[in-house]
Amino acid sequence: MAAFSSAHRRSHATTPYSPSSRPRLSPSDGGHHRRVALSSIPSRLALRAQSSSRLRGSRCANAVRLHEGAGAATIIPVENKLPLKKSEGSLSLTLPKVENINIGENESTVSITVVGASGDLAKRKIFPALFALFCEDCLPKHFTIYGYARSKMTDAELRNMISKSLTCRTHKRENCEEKMDQFLKRCFYHSGHYDCLENFAELDKKLKLHEGRRISNRLFYLSIPPNIFVDAVRCSSSLAASRNGWTRVIVEKPFGRDSESSAALTKALKQYLEENQIFRIDHYLGKELVENLSVLRFSNLIFEPLWSRNYIRNVQLIFSEDFGTEGRGGYFDSYGIIRDIMQNHLLQILALFAMETPVSLDAEDIRNEKVKVLRCMKPLHLDDVVIGQYTSHNDRSTTYPAYTDDKTVPNGSLTPTFAAAAIFINNARWEGVPFLMKAGKALQDRRAEIRVQFRHVPGNLYSQKLGTDLDQATNELVIRVQPDEAIYLMINNKVPGLEMKLDHSNLNLHYAARYSKEIPDAYERLLLDAIEGERRLFIRSDELDAAWAIFTPVLKEIDEKNIVPESYPYGSRGPAGAHRLAARHNVKWGDLSTGQ
C-alpha cells in the first residue's frame, strides 16, 4: 500500500445534519387537521400488489399511476408524513383536511419541483429526462414542473436555460419543436432559499393554482449540495407537501460520507418523511444493463446454476473515465473515488449480482435480498484496498493536468481519484470468491462493466491446444454497462479448417446491432419509477447502512493515517498497485487483456 505521510492532514467538516426544531403547519395553511389511524396505511401485501407496474408491458401513453389507493376514487395519502404532534405519540399521523374526496383517478395531477434547478445536474440530466418522458407520453395528462433555486429567474429565463439541453430521440425527430414548446409551457420557476418556510409556502400557493381541485401528487427532486438537504426537506414537507395525494422526495447522493453521517442524515430526513417517501437515487441502478442483470440471472436457465463459487473464479466490477474532475473538484475532493463511485454505484451492482433469488420482483423482496448479501460482505481494511491519484501527462502537443492542478482542488490534496478493492462475501454461495472492484478518473478509456471469470474445465481434453496460460482460456462473461452496451461470452472455439486449432471467441449480444430503439437515460427510468411509486431501484435506509458498514473502516483508516495515493499518469491504465492487489488473489484484470 502507499506510504504514510503526516504532512497533509485533510479536514473534512462533518456535514451539519443537525435537526432544527420541527415546524408546525399554520392553521391558515391547510386548515383543520385530520387524524389518520395507522391501520389505514395499506399493508405490505397491498403495496406489493400495487408495485407491479414494472411488469406491465407498456409503461407509458399517460399510463402513470398517480396515487397508491386501491380504488380509483379513494384517497389514501399514505406517504404524507407531516410533523407529529407531541401528544399524538407514534400511533397517528396529523394530516391537513382533505377537501377533494371522491375525485376520480383521472383527476389526479403531478407537480414535480426540481430543487436546485439552476445547477449542473438539473440542466444536464433532470430536465432532459423529464422532456424525454413527456415525448414518450410517460408523464400524466396533468403535470406541472417547477424549478426552485435561489438564483433570480423568470419562467421565460428558466425555459430558455433548459431548452438548451433538450434533445429529441432520433426516431421521434418530427414534431420535436412542437413537443418542446408544449413541454416548456408546463415549466415554471420560483426563486427561494432552501431553508425558508415562507418561500416554500409561496411555492405551495403556485402549485395549488396549477393543481386546482385535482388530487395533488408532489415530487420534489433535491438536486442540491448535501449540506442543505435537510433544510429543503423540512421546508418542503412542512409547507409544500400535498394535502390529498402523495408527496415523495428524490434525494441525490452523497448520502453522508461514512456510517455515522449517513445515519445522522437518515435520522434527520425521517423527522419529516416516512421511509417510503424517500427515494434515494443511485443512477447506475437506472442503467439498462444493470436493470437487465436480474433478467439475465433469473430468466435464463443457463446462468443461475453456474452463479456460485463452484463455477465462478472471480468477478470484476470496473468503472473508468477518460477525463479528470475538471470543474467538479470542489465536491469531489471532500469525497474521493471510493465514496463517489465504489460505495454506491459499484456496490449496488455487486449486490444485484450476488444476491439470492428474491421471493418476487416486489421492491421490498429485492431490497431484502440486497441487504442480506451486503451484510455478508467483509468490511474493508487497508490491506484490501489500493488508492491512486492522477498526475499530469504530456502527449505530443497536449498536456493533461494533474488532479492537484485543478483550481478547485486544494494544494497537496491526498484525495484518491482511483481505487481498487477486493471484497469477499461470507456466505455459502460465494465464500472464497474475490469480487474485485476498481474505479478511476483520468484513465485510458471510459467504461463500466462486470466481468465474470469462470473456473477451468476439469480434465480438459483440449488443454494442450489452449496454450500454457489456462487462465486466458477460461470462459468469461462480460456485461458492458457503457459505452456501447453489450453482453458477451468468451468461449473456446475451433478455428475452421482441417487442423485442430482453437481460439477464444465471443458470443456477442451487441445492443446497437440487435435493438434499433435508443436506450433511455438512467434518469428517465428513475424519474418515471418515482412518479409511479416503484421503489425497486431506490436505496432503502438499511441497504445504505449495510453499504457504509463495508467501506467506513477503510475510509477512516485512509483519512486518519493520511495514506498517500499511488500516482498514475493521466490517460494511463492506473497505478501498478491495482495489479498487485489482483495478483494476490490470483486474478488478472480482464479489461487490460488484449482485444477485450
Ligand X SMILES: O=C1O[C@H](COP(=O)(O)O)[C@@H](O)[C@H](O)[C@H]1O
Buried b (16+ CB within 10 A) or exposed e, 473-491: bbbbbbbbbbeebbbbbbe
From residue 246 to residue 285, the character string flagging contacts with ligand NDP as x (rule: CB under 6 A) and all else as - is ------xxx-------------------------------
- Residues 446-475, interacting with ligand NDP (CB under 6 A): none
From residue 326 to residue 365, the character string flagging contacts with ligand X as x (rule: CB under 6 A) and all else as - is --------------x-------------------------
CB of 431 to ligand NDP, least distance (A): 34
Which runs of consecutive H residues, i.e. helices, occur in 299-397? 329-333, 336-337, 347-354, 363-375
Catalytic residue among 142, 345, 381, 585: 345
Q: Is the CB of residue 409 less than 8 Å from the CB of residue 325? A: yes
Is 524 a residue that touches ligand X (CB under 6 A)? no
Which whole-number Å values give the CA distances from 162 to 127, 174, 250, 328, 446, in the listed order?
Answer: 7, 20, 20, 21, 27
Q: Please calculate the CA angle 557-559-564 and round it to the nearest 5 degrees.
A: 95
Residue among 128 and 140 whose Cβ is closer to ligand X: 128
Could you tell me which of 477, 438, 439 has the C-alpha nearest to residue 455? 477
Backbone angles phi, psi at 488, to 5 degrees: -140, 155
Residue among 76 and 268 whose Cβ is closer to ligand NDP: 268
CB of 490 to ligand NDP, least distance (A): 33
CB of 560 to ligand X, least distance (A): 24
Q: Is the CB of residue 225 less than 8 Å from the CB of residue 197? A: no
Which whole-number Å values give the CA distances from 253 to 295, 348, 370, in the listed order?
Answer: 26, 13, 19
CB of 321 to ligand X, least distance (A): 6
Residue among 65 and 283 whose Cβ is closer to ligand NDP: 283
CB of 345 to ligand NDP, least distance (A): 10
Question: DSSP string of 110-138?
Answer: EEEEEETTTSHHIIIIIHHHHHHHHHTT-
Is 118 a residue that touches ligand NDP (CB under 6 A)? yes
Query: Which of the ranges 47-55, 222-230, 296-304, 498-506 carries the binding residues for ligand NDP, by CB under 6 A?
Result: 222-230
The partner in contact with residue 416, picked from ligand X, ligand NDP, none with C-beta cut-offs of 5 to 8 angstroms by kind, is none
CB of 253 to ligand NDP, least distance (A): 5
CB of 340 to ligand NDP, least distance (A): 8
The partner in contact with residue 228, picked from ligand X, ligand NDP, none with C-beta cut-offs of 5 to 8 angstroms by kind, is ligand NDP
Q: How far apart are alpha carbons 512 and 518 in whole angstroms?
A: 9
Could you tell me where the beta strands, DSSP code E, fall in 70-117? 92-96, 108-115
Query: Which of the ranges 30-38, 101-109, 220-228, 445-453 carries the binding residues for ligand NDP, by CB under 6 A?
Result: 220-228
The partner in contact with residue 431, picked from ligand X, ligand NDP, none with C-beta cut-offs of 5 to 8 angstroms by kind, is none
Backbone angles phi, psi at 76, to 5 degrees: -125, 95
The set of residues, in sequence order, having a beta carbon less than 8 Å from that of 110 and lying 6+ positions away, is 64, 66, 139, 140, 142, 143, 144, 217, 218, 219, 531
Question: DSSP string of 284-326?
Answer: GGGSHHHHHHHHHHHS-TTTGGG-STTTEEEEEEEEE-SS--T
In the block, which residue shows the cell 418530427? 174
Residue 193 CA neighbour count, 13 Å, CB half: 5
Query: Which amino acid, one-letter code, is at 284?
Result: Y
Q: How far apart are alpha carbons 64 and 534 in whole angstroms?
A: 11
Could you tell me which of 313, 297, 332 has the C-alpha nearest to residue 417? 332
Residue among 79 and 340 whose Cβ is closer to ligand X: 340
Residue among 194 and 589 whose Cβ is closer to ligand NDP: 194
Residue among 341 and 414 whose Cβ is closer to ligand NDP: 341
Residue among 191 and 276 whose Cβ is closer to ligand NDP: 191
The partner in contact with residue 149, picked from ligand X, ligand NDP, none with C-beta cut-offs of 5 to 8 angstroms by kind, is ligand NDP
**Residues in contact with ligand X, total (CB under 6 A)?**
3
From residue 301 to residue 330, the character string flagging contacts with ligand X as x (rule: CB under 6 A) and all else as - is --------------------x---------
Residue among 149 and 187 whose Cβ is closer to ligand NDP: 149
Number of separate helices (H) and strands (E) present in the chain: 17, 20
Is 42 a residue that touches ligand NDP (CB under 6 A)? no
Measured from each CB, the residue nearest to ligand X is: 340
- Residues 322-351, interacting with ligand NDP (CB under 6 A): 331
Is 128 a residue that touches ligand NDP (CB under 6 A)? no
From residue 461 to residue 490, the character string flagging contacts with ligand X as x (rule: CB under 6 A) and all else as - is ------------------------------
CB of 184 to ligand NDP, least distance (A): 19
From residue 138 to residue 177, the character string flagging contacts with ligand NDP as x (rule: CB under 6 A) and all else as - is -----------xxx--------------------------
Q: How far apart are alpha carbons 587 and 596 in whole angstroms?
A: 16
Residue among 118 and 316 whose Cβ is closer to ligand NDP: 118
The partner in contact with residue 519, picked from ligand NDP, ligand X, none with C-beta cut-offs of 5 to 8 angstroms by kind, is none
Backbone angles phi, psi at 96, to 5 degrees: -70, 165
Is 364 a residue that touches ligand NDP (CB under 6 A)? no
Between β-strands 187-191 and 143-149, what pairing exists: parallel, antiparallel or unpaired? parallel
Between β-strands 187-191 and 486-494, what pairing exists: parallel, antiparallel or unpaired? unpaired
The partner in contact with residue 340, picked from ligand NDP, ligand X, none with C-beta cut-offs of 5 to 8 angstroms by kind, is ligand X
CB of 528 to ligand X, least distance (A): 17
Per-residue 3-state assignment (H helix, E strand, C coil) for 563-586: ECCEEEECCECCCCHHHHHHHHCC
Catalytic residue check, 345? yes
Backbone angles phi, psi at 38, to 5 degrees: -60, -20
CB of 8 to ligand NDP, least distance (A): 24
Residue among 130 and 466 whose Cβ is closer to ligand X: 130
Instruction: Give the residue numbers marked as catalytic.
Output: 345
Interacting residues with ligand NDP (CB under 6 A)? 116, 118-122, 149-151, 194, 223-226, 228, 252-254, 331
Q: Kindly list the residues in this chain that would bind ligand X in the complex (CB under 6 A).
A: 283, 321, 340
